[in-house]
Structure 1
Amino acid sequence: MKKLLATLALLGTMLAAPVWAEDAKSADPSSAVVVADTAPVPAPVVLMKETNTVTPAAVSIATPAPVLVPNRGDNAWMFMATALVILMSIPGLALFYGGLVRAKNMLSVLMQVFSVFSLISLLWVVYGYSVAFTKYNAFLGGLNKLFLKGVTPDSVAATFSKGVVVSELIYVVFQGAFAAITCGLIVGAFAERVKFSAVLAFCVIWFTFSYLPMAHMVWYWSGPDAYTSQAAAEAATATAGFLFQKGALDFAGGTVVHINAAVAGLIGAYMVGKRVGYGREAMTPHSLTMTMIGASLLWFGWFGFNAGSALEANGVAALAFVNTWAATAAAAVAWLLAEWLLKGKPSMLGAASGAVAGLVAITPACGFVGVGGAIVMGLLAGVICLWGVHGLKRLLGADDALDVFGVHGVGGILGALLTGVFADPALGGAGVWDYVANKVADGYSIVTQVQIQAIGVGATLIWSTVVSVIAYKLVDILIGLRVPEEEEREGLDVTSHGEKAYNI
């Protein structure tokens, strides 16, 4: 009887194994997170040469892989960080940009940012997440998660720590908010003269062919749990995004978000053309109060943007948090003092612009550099981006209305390159983590890492330029990019949307 019961128990266990395997499976890997397929460990077998048959070893009961459950603290932090990123766009970016344009175009800018955020959020769910964060090749993901197919409340996504996961659904929203604000950043470059329909059409094309490939190239990998040995690490890295394979460091979006959007904005400023009266008429911001409020909301929300990219409520998130605080403050002070020295008076616009420049520059580095390095980066960003919106802007000759390239392009490039410098452990940085040895990798080389960072910057510049030129040209042919001159003079609030920001 005992033998019968033991036999039945063994058979029941073996029959249950496929069920356990199916339940344990999760979705394809995602960027900084990955949901790796898991299955029970097969029973060891011994090949009996005498009979040429396979016999189970002494212990042959298949045991399922442990089911990883999200830590509630990490999940709660990701909920908050995601909400903060959404706050950056609406109302943060909308008010920052809105205050910088003339009163007759205030509502049009609010409308563009709000609508672009909504449109890209929808496209992210439909196909964006799948294309960016599933496995296919080094430049694009696949289509197996269209409409979030297979992503359930039980789905998990890995973090940067082995055996640690968060709920995949909140990771989807977190990354979707990144995509939405990136497209929103672009509209500042051609503000006050572009067709609303052209903005939406361009963003659909650019999001699909520039943002999604860049996100995949920089952030997609197979996750830390795949790095069990050197051979496994090499195999896992071979399936990662192109720039991830190169070793490019981008903690929260210096290349994917800021340089990518800045290039698209600059190309748009050229192809849409200069505003009527540009260089001859005063085009001063109509409400620096709104701009200051927007900048403050951006700074506040950016803690979610940067510290949330750690994907856990841990020390790395704390490092990114303090770096975001310190670098931004340093950049605001540096811009303000430089402007005071050069122009004789410090301005509110300068302080707000400096803060945003610092936020941009520290974004790719925030989880990799020490606080001292972050302060130096902020100080440099404040001064160099000041030159970017004045000296460089004159050299380029484009009417980049709200200085998208001068702040996000210059700041993003500076931050991406300096990440390679200040990530050095000898300078207080975190170095590069070796997931096979489970320690910081030895022999960090500033020269080598800066070269890798430069490859990432160059790839972003080229990719976004090519996609942007084609996208703008297509939209111009099909819809037309620019409103008629009389509509531009009257203001886009009334002519494009039939309402005013201020009814006084």
Structure 2
Amino acid sequence: MDLPSNLKSDEASPEWMNKGDNAWQVTAATLVGLQCVPGLVIFYGGMVKKKWAINSAFMALYAFAAVLICWVGWGFRMAFGDKFQVFIGKPDVSLDQKFLLGQAFLGYFPTATMVFFQFVFAAITPILIGGALLGRMNFIAWMLFVPLWHTFSYTIGAYSIWCPEGWLAKLGVIDFAGGYVIHLSSGVAGFTAAYWVGPRADKDRERFPPNNILLMLAGAGLLWMGWTGFNGGAPYAASTDSSLAILNTHVCTATSLLTWLLLDICFFGKPSVIGAVQGMITGLVCITPGAGVVQCWAAILMGMMSGSVPWYTMMVLHNKLNLLRHVDDTFAVFHTHALAGSLGGILTGFFAVPKLSRLFYLVPDWERYIGLAYGLQTGQTSAGLRQMGVQLLGIVFITCLNVVTTSAICLLIKLMVPLRLSEEELEIGDNAVHGEEAYALWGDGERFENARNNSVYDVDEFTSVMSKTASELQMLHLSINEVKK
């Protein structure tokens, strides 16, 4: 029996391509892209102090654009191409139509789709790093940091864990959608970079209120909903495992948010909006390494852990450890990403279900992907312990990689440009760095120009604006009188 005409293969739809998988993969990639632009752009812009709104949002926007050029120029092949060294692939361009229109190394869709899908993951990682550096990093230094870190850190982690030829991938590490490659990397790199860049101005570090909590919540909502594509796209197919990963993601996140909220109420007496957002983020991060390989009840337990362990380290332990107090991690990415990502990787090593691993990996030796809990249950304790050991090895590798490479990159950039803004720029903020401000004070975008000390207005401009306003009011009064006559 002949296939319907819309399912028949042709030059644009070759026999190996699954139209449904391709459509879902592009959709999932777009959802992850929306987490970056506008998600993290408005999340950062709303969560920082008013004078840093433009700078913070722009750091995210710049990173998204810069990574794309690096990715198609050399990054994709370094992360997923032919082996160059143990930890990395051969750098090469991803621009030729013959390469892009062929079948991807995994899945039933073209390489162009894979390049775009993996790009949005590569882009969101340095944007998350930026969360630790807001409010003081020199923007020119940031412009250098993003391509350097992407090239010498992200591609190594991605190749080692996600590329079929990667050494950790061959050992059997489970990182479903980036708990290690993205979140642990960004958390450790952000904390390390924050150490080298230095702290914010004292006033900012003492008091750093969000300038627009509703805008912050809008960005947080885009992050949460965008995670449907983040974890749902990891199987590279519109499959049952993709659906399970999506459900587990939202269940874990909701549990984590509620856990954090209850802890805030119990210990501080008030339900904090910012606290709830932090709990949401830790839940999203924690479930990412194992979203499609754990049971839904396990996702609830992981949410309870991700809502409580990072809460304790952020609210209690942070003030007791000198290193955590010394390093000015603006948005606490060490707790929300490094710690939550590590926690998720360990819990994945405990809760991973062999059958679900088989659905995800679709390889003959799927039985080796077994969580310790199921190893104990089925008498395969050694296999479960091995999996847990591999998960811990992945954490150690990604941590060491990012401490070393991030430190080297920061020290290299420091030889060329200052890592930190000047004290004068730190005092003024956006207007000093970009010559722009987030919120106009007057109609039609007009505003008073701030003086150097940011406390008095220019007298001439004040006189000019007031004269113009008086003239407009006089004209309005005459118009009203004419109407009355």
Q: TM class by shorter-chain length? A: 0.7 to 0.9
Q: Distance in 2 between matches of 1:343 and 1:285?
A: 19
- The 1:283/1:465 distance shift into structure 2, 3 A limit, reads same
| Alignment equivalent of 2:146, drawn from 162, 182, 203 | 203
Structure-1 residue corresponding to 2:297 = 372
Aligned to 2:426: 488
Match of residue 436, structure 1, among 341, 358, 364: 364
Matches within 5 A, 1:67-466: 68-136=15-83, 137-143=85-91, 145-149=92-96, 151-152=98-99, 154-159=101-106, 165-221=108-164, 240-277=165-202, 281-394=206-319, 395=321, 396-397=324-325, 398-425=327-354, 435-436=363-364, 443=380, 445-466=383-404
Matched with 2:412 is 474
- 1-structure distance, mates of 2:98, 2:296: 37
State how far apart, in whole Å, the 2-side matches of 1:273 and 1:133 are. 34
Partner Cα separation in structure 1 for residue 392 and residue 195 of structure 2: 25
CA–CA distance in structure 1, aligned partners of residues 359 and 117 of structure 2: 26
Q: Does the 8 Å CA contact 1:138/1:216 hold for their aligned counterparts?
A: no
Residue segments in structure 1 that go unaligned for 5+ positions in a row: 1-66, 222-239
For 2:415 and 2:57, locate their aligned partners in 1 and report how far apart those are by CA, in whole Å: 26
Encode CA deviations 1:276-331: one digit per residue, 9 max, x unaligned: 11587322222221211111100111110110111100101001110111011011
Which piece of structure 1 moves more, 145-154 or 319-328? Answer: 145-154
Query: TM-score if structure 1 supplies the norm length?
Result: 0.78
CA offset at residue 393 of structure 1?
3.1
> CA, structure 1 residues 441+464, in 2 after alignment: closer, same or farther (shift >3 Å)?
closer
Preserved CA contact (<8 Å) 1:433 1:440: no
Q: What does 1:19-30 align with in structure 2 at a 5 Å threshold?
A: none
Rounded to whole Å, the distance in 2 between the matches of 1:215 and 1:438 is 21
- Which one has a larger percent helix, Structure 1 or Structure 2? 2
Q: Deviations over 1:202-251 (max 9, x none)?
A: 11111111000100000111xxxxxxxxxxxxxxxxxx101112211001
After superposition, the CA RMSD in angstroms is 2.1
CA separation of 1:278 and 1:391: change in aligned 2, threshold 3 A? farther
Whether the 8 Å contact between 1:185 and 1:261 is mirrored in structure 2 is yes
**Distance verdict in 2 for CA 1:291–1:432, change over 3 Å:** closer
Taking the aligned partners of 1:345 and 1:151, their CA distance within structure 2 comes to 59
Paired residue for 2:4? none
Q: Contact (CA 8 Å) 1:392, 1:406: kept in 2 or not? A: no
Cα distance in 2 for residues equivalent to 1:284 and 1:488: 16
Cα distance change, pair 78–455 in 1 and its aligned pair in 2 (3 A) = same
Q: Equivalent pairs: percent with the same residue?
A: 36
- Structure 1 478/277 Cα, relative in aligned 2: closer, same or farther at 3 Å? same
| SS of 2:176 mapped into structure 1 | coil
Q: Is the CA contact (8 Å cut-off) linking 2:241 and 2:359 kept in structure 1?
A: no
TM-fit CA distance, 1:138: 2.9
The SS at the match of 2:206 is coil
Amino acid at match of 1:320: A
CA distance in 1, matches of 2:349, 2:365: 22
In 2: Cα distance, 1:105 partner to 1:177 partner: 25
- Equivalent AA in structure 2 for residue 112 of structure 1: M
Deviates more, 1:385-394 or 1:431-440: 431-440
Which residue of the partner structure matches residue 453 of structure 2? none
Structure 2: which amino acid aligns with 1:99? Answer: G
Q: Report the CA distance between 1:435 and its aligned residue.
A: 2.2
Gaps of 5+ in 2: 1-13, 371-379, 442-485
Report the 3-state secondary structure (helix = DSSP H, G, I; strand = E; otherwise coil) of the residue aligned with 2:109: strand
Q: Which amino acid aligns with 2:81?
A: T
CA contact (8 A) 2:41 2:61 kept: yes
Task: Note the C-alpha offset of 1:152.
Answer: 4.4
- Report the 3-state secondary structure (helix = DSSP H, G, I; strand = E; otherwise coil) of the residue aligned with 2:117: helix
Distance (whole Å) between structure 2 residues aligned to residue 87 and residue 400 of structure 1: 25
* 2:438 alignment partner AA: A
Count how many residue pairs are aligned between Structure 1 and Structure 2: 413
Distance 1:258 1:420 in 2: 17
The 3-state SS of whatever aligns with 1:109 is: helix
Matched residue of 1:479: which SS?
A: coil
Q: Which residue matches 1:236? A: none
Amino acid at match of 2:32: V
* Aligned 8 A contact 2:255 2:283 in 1: yes
CA distance in 2, matches of 1:326, 1:113: 28
CA–CA distance in structure 2, aligned partners of residues 410 and 119 of structure 1: 27
Distance 1:432 1:109, change over 3 A: closer
The two structures have a TM-score, normalised by structure 2, of 0.81
Deviation digits for residues 11-59 of structure 1, max 9, x if unmatched?
xxxxxxxxxxxxxxxxxxxxxxxxxxxxxxxxxxxxxxxxxxxxxxxxx
Q: Is the 8 A contact 1:120 1:180 kept in 2?
A: yes
Go from structure 1 to structure 2 and tell me whether the alpha carbon gap of 1:151 and 1:248 turns closer, same or farther (over 3 Å shift): farther
Residue 497 (str. 1) matches residue 434 (str. 2):
yes
